[in-house]
Amino acid sequence: MPDIRLCLEAISALLGCKAESASGTSQFTPQDLVNVVALKEFYKQEGYKELEYPSLGTLSLHDLDEQDLYSSPPAIEGPPESLQVTVKINPEDFFHPQYDYDFTNIKDGDRKFMRGNELYVRPCGWNRVALRVMQKYDGGDRWLGTGADAWPVSYQGKNMDGSLILTHSGNPDDQPKFLDVAATALRKVETRGRGVYSTPDIRIAATYCKRFKSKVDGKTYQVVLQNRINPEKRQNCQRPDVWLVYIPEDSNDVKTRAIVQESIRPYGLLLKQV
């Protein structure tokens, strides 16, 4: 397993607040981690400036890419409110080293793998830190298996929103009115579907993932979440490498969080040195 301090830095980079090691029960679970990552991108897409999350409080949604979460705050301007948030994580009940897998030097070539009747593009070139999620959900661990009743694998990266696709902005169950426009329109608000996006292709996730420079070894890393996605909750987009968990317009914060929680479950923190 990579240095615990490096793993906590990666979590800090994803959350936009400080993650620190602590004894006792973690105030934050792996499910909370994927919830916050997904909800931050969703609410940012909706035009919000902050996210309120139980056990964390208020998190800023403005871009923290250039912020150093471990340095002293600026002398003149106060730090964003989310930089004042600290989440306590007990590594023993958050990580599951028994299931770590280092794909750094693995190349699959033409080999194919399946998870839940979907092609599984393994994260070759990445080092996976396993999250402790076994026996944490109702219905057992079949969702985490390799059989036909397992959930497919998806990857969650920062900035994964509706700019990934061209779609109508309504319910994906409605008859779609696809937009035949140039690729430059991909980032226009009116082309974004309403919901949470992920991808079965690690190469797509890598394009949108978070980078951070480690205080542990001075190296720069990319970080991506490896999840399983509920096949009954995800929608197929026009692009086969993008999946959508649709969030209806009338969803309040509690319902939105519940939709994410019942649709996406994390099981790996992926790190790659760049």
Each domain of the chain, given as residue ranges in start order, spans 4-273
| Eight-class DSSP state of 43 | H
* For residues 79-95, average pLDDT: 77
Widest CA span in the chain: 57
Residue in 6, 211, 2 with CA at minimum distance from that of residue 101: 2
In the numeric block, the tokens 């036909």 are attached to 148
Strands (DSSP E) found in 39-126? 50-53, 57-60, 86-89, 101-102, 114-115, 118-119
Residue type, 263: S
Q: What pLDDT is recorded for position 238?
A: 67
Contacts (Cβ under 8 Å, ≥6 apart) of 131: 30, 33, 94, 95, 96, 266, 267, 268, 269
Inform me whether the pLDDT recorded for 63 exceeds 60. no
Least confident piece of the model among 100-109, 174-183, 195-204, 209-218: 174-183
- Give the mean pLDDT of the chain: 83
Q: What pLDDT is recorded for position 169?
A: 40
